[in-house]
Structure 1
Amino acid sequence: MTSIQHSSPALVPSETAPGLRHLPLPLFAVPMGLGGLAMTWREASVMLGAPAVIGEGLMLATGVFWCIIFIGHALRVLRHPEALVSDLKHPIRSAFAGGLSIGLMIIAGGFLPYSFDLAAVIWGVAVAIHLTIGAYIVRGLLVSPREAATLTPPLLLPLVGNVLAPVIGAKLGFITVSWMLFGLGALLWVIVQPLILYRISTGPILPAKMWPTLVILLAPPAVGSLALALLTDGFGPGPLAIYGYAVLVAAVMLLMMSKFRSVPFAMSWWGYTFPSAAFVTASMKAAHAHPFPLMEPALWLLVAFITVVVTLVFAATLKAFFAGHLFLPE
């Protein structure tokens, strides 16, 4: 009887609780990045004749990692509800909750070729969650005004992420709702992004660890051009105008490469992935509608670039996980 009493605490290792308590909310950026790359390779299979199995394999990995991370956070809620509440009240970390629903939207797109009904259900759930998170963030901005220093690019995730919904919703036939979501995301983009740019340009300077999140500024125009192209049945003047802005932002980000390379690994590195993948996908769509000389080699170069970026970030994340550096207090 004594031995049973002494052995029971070993069923739950003492290290488990602290690690789970500090499970990063930004981990939901992992399936976002993998899903963005999956969408790129799916488009490459159509545009460039790339092996379809690569895109499908990446989409499967997206679903697997989303489920693992979701289960981890569900356990965190059960064991350490105060930790999640703290994240949701945090002026910067709370924005990463939008990654949960954005990842689910991408998964809905992953199911689209295989089960229309299942894709529609997942998409509907994802949109409902995303709108709820967005409403919570806006409420927080109104009830508890924040300092200008906390206006950072991740704030675009739960607010402007609505522009991603039509990329899948239009294919599912939800045109009216998709237009509404696109309008919501586009208007919030027009309102929120200038505030973020003003805060960044006037200071205080972003901490070095936050620099990779600047690439999130590329996501709204890249995804927005894709969404508008689907809603208007072609890469016409509207999508091209938005894509042109995405090209400018992408050029600025490339000019900042030396700064990005100086940033030690943090979960913010995943900020490089989804926006860049969305830009490559938009570039393929734009090139398909408006071909140019040496188009195919240029597009392959973009696909290779984003594949290397996601691979390096994923490898760095695995290294941090196995070294025990991933689940640490912020």
Structure 2
Amino acid sequence: MSAHTLSKTASVPRLAHLPLPLFAAPMGFGGIGLAWREAARVLGAPKLIGEALFAMTVALWLIVTALHIIRALHSPASLLGDLKHPVRSGFTGAIAIGMMLIAGGVLPYSPSIAAVIWFGAIGLQVALGIWFLRALFHTPREAATFTPLLLMPLIGNVVAPIVGAKLGFVVISWMLFGMGIALWVSVQPLLFGRIFTGPPLPELLRPTVVIFLSPPAVSTVAVANLTGGVGPLALALFGYAAMLAIMFATMIPEFRRTPFAMSWWGWTFPTAAFTVAALTVARSYSFPGYQLVLWGILLGASLILAIVSMATLRAALNGNLLRPE
């Protein structure tokens, strides 16, 4: 999706309805970029694909950020409403995570620039995490507002070590990892309680349950990078991620019946993160036919990203992307 496409379908007043969840787009592209870059090492996949996806990640993040800045200047009340919304505000976490993924993309070319981006991302991530937790402490939530999106402003702390360890910031990365794990195990039981006992998620939010796959998948890669290999903890985390991935795969027919909404982007980063985790584990533990399995996971995650991207582009061209929710 390009700035030209959006500019044809939007005037400044309509940007008041620009979806905050659009920040999940660079997050999804960055995650699959990491997956293809890892696949180049493990499976001999073309290196160009991963690098092209990272270039797309940078372009998307800049475009979406610029559009939201314009939105903030012309319709500050609408953006503030999203930031205070008990559900949509969860997508703020995608802003910092997108920056972290961009830092990972830049790392092979300029470690110094990657470090600047990474520190900016973790600064924003910690600020968002504190702001989000303060809101939870000060304003008791109804059960209906507990959705998997609550994990997004928190799991960025687990994403950060994936890049931070490669940059050499191991101490800070371990601290961030500890923060992320503590928040994950604190918040997830509350979310499971809502999922298991109700009220049921609205139909358009059903795809967001796949976000539950992100923390264990990302943590697998983070631990492997921090410890220099796939040890028992990384394997344990990957086992949990694999169980969730298989379960969500069996739910695909159900998800296909869900009308398009920005919540579909909730599928993209988790499946990309699981792909990276599977490729990371495969470097240390392989089995007969593992390459075929890994190619299937990689292409499946890539197909999901392509489907969601095309659906979003179609919504933009039809004028359905920039309208009141």
Equivalents in 1 of 2:10, 2:106: separation in Å? Answer: 37
**Contact between 1:44 and 1:50, CA under 8 Å: does it hold in 2?**
yes
Alignment of 1:9-88 (within 5 A): 16-88=11-83
Q: Which position in structure 1 is the counterpart of 2:182?
A: 187
Which among 233, 237, 254 is matched to residue 232 of structure 2? 237
Q: Is the CA contact 1:156–1:192 (under 8 Å) kept in the aligned structure 2? A: yes
Matches within 5 A, 1:30-179: 30-179=25-174
Correspondent of 2:210 among 200, 211, 215:
215
- The separation in 1 between residues aligned to 2:200 and 2:58, in whole angstroms, is 36
Letter in 2 for 1:233: G
Matched, 1:285 2:262: no
| 3-state secondary structure, aligned to 1:132 | helix
SS of alignment partner, residue 245 of structure 2: helix
- Whether 1:303 aligns to 2:298 is yes
AA at the equivalent of 1:132: A
State the alpha-carbon separation in 2 of the partners of residues 226 and 212 from structure 1: 24
Contact 2:9 2:317 in 1 (8 A): no
User: Kindly tell me: are residues 51 and 200 of structure 1, through their superposed partners in 2, closer, same or farther at Cα, counting changes over 3 Å?
Assistant: same
Q: Cα deviation per residue 1:263-312 (whole Å; 9 max; x = unaligned)? A: 01111111111000100110011111111110111111111111111111
Q: Which amino acid aligns with 1:111?
A: V
Residue type of the alignment partner of 1:315:
M
The partner residue of 1:247 within 236, 242, 245 is 242
Distance 1:14 1:33 in 2: 23
Aligned match of 1:321: 316
Task: Measure the CA separation in 1 of the matches of 2:84 and 2:291.
Answer: 47
Total equivalences in the alignment: 319
Letter in 1 for 2:295: W
Distance in 1 separating the partners of 2:28 and 2:10: 29
- Judge conservation of contact 2:165–2:226 (CA < 8 Å) in 1: yes
Unaligned runs of 5+ in 2: 1-6
Give, in angstroms, the shift of residue 134 of structure 1.
0.9
Question: Using the alignment, how far apart are the partners of 1:275 and 1:171 within structure 2?
Answer: 21
Q: Is the 8 A contact 1:161 1:220 kept in 2?
A: no
- What amino acid is the match of 1:299? L
Structure 1 residue 200 and structure 2 residue 195: aligned? yes
Shift of 1:14: 12
Question: 1:180 corresponds to which letter in structure 2?
Answer: M
Percent of matched pairs sharing the same residue: 51
Larger Rg: 1
TM-score by length of 2: 0.96
Matches within 5 A, 1:267-278: 267-278=262-273
Q: Given that residues 222 and 243 in structure 1 are in contact (C-alpha distance below 8 angstroms), is that contact kept between their aligned partners in structure 2?
A: yes
Q: Name 2:3's counterpart in structure 1.
A: none
Please state how far the C-alpha of 1:160 moved relative to its aligned partner. Answer: 2.0
Deviations 1:131-151 (A, max 9, x none): 111111101001111101111
Q: Is the 8 A contact 1:127 1:165 kept in 2?
A: yes
Q: Quick one: distance in 1 between partners of 2:176 and 2:192? A: 23
Aligned-partner residue type, residue 325 of structure 1: N
1:164 is paired with a residue of what secondary structure? helix
- The secondary structure found in structure 2 opposite 1:50 is coil
TM-score by length of 1: 0.95
Which whole-Å CA distance do the structure 2 matches of 1:215 and 1:298 have between them?
A: 20
The alignment status of 1:265 with 2:265, answered yes or no, reads: no
Q: What's the CA shift for 1:15?
A: 6.0
> Quick check: 2:26–2:60 contact (8 Å CA) kept in 1?
yes
2:91–2:152 CA contact under 8 A, matched in 1: yes
Q: Is the 8 A contact 1:208 1:263 kept in 2?
A: yes
Equivalent AA in structure 2 for residue 212 of structure 1? P
